[in-house]
Amino acid sequence: MNRDSLDAGRLIAVVGPSGVGKDSVIDGMLAADTRLRRVRRVVTREAGLPGEDHIPMDAEAFGEAVSAGAFCLHWHAHGLSYGIPLHVLRDVAAGEHCVVNLSRDAVRDAVARFPAVIALHVTARPETIAARLAQRGRESLDQIRHRLARSNRPLPDSVDVVHIANDGSLDDAVAAALRALQPVSA
């Protein structure tokens, strides 16, 4: 993946463990750069819960959508199903810069399907992640422990990865993410 310009479209996969602040980093990126477009995931989670703005879908409808080819990417994690609408593949091919909160398990498939992918791997210390997960109130203590145990899984070698630390100021993390997307100076 060539990071030399934003002229060609690409999928910008913001990845990292639950609670690391991916959606907050995405929000900051979108507020700072109008060339970026948010991808709303389809999730088998109820509407109205705190956290990301997603398209809710029940498990049966999700299975039907997968069978109908409605997603360019889909995966299962933490008892939920996630899908990226098929139009995102067309949008990137047409030159859009689509930013998505993507599972690390889906990155390999993204690299195989999209013409250009960059992964912004958002990281934080385990105690920071645990506090954020507890604060959002969606997971039990056992679920938080399980999520923390999965937090260090590697990304495939086939993807361009930039590591973004999100332990300090959110503004610093957003600035680092935006720098990773900008042309490399000579």
Q: Mean pLDDT score of the chain, rounded to an integer? A: 86
pLDDT tens, 19-69? 888 999 999 999 999 999 999 999 998 776 666 678 999 999 999 999 999
Comparing C-alpha atoms, which of 102, 82, 76, 74 is closest to residue 17? 102
Q: Tell me the C-alpha distance between 74 and 81, whole Å.
A: 7
Q: Which amino acid is at 1?
A: M
Confidence class for position 184, pLDDT limits 50, 70, 90: very low
Closest Cα partner for 37 from 2, 81, 87, 3?
87
Q: Give the pTM.
A: 0.84
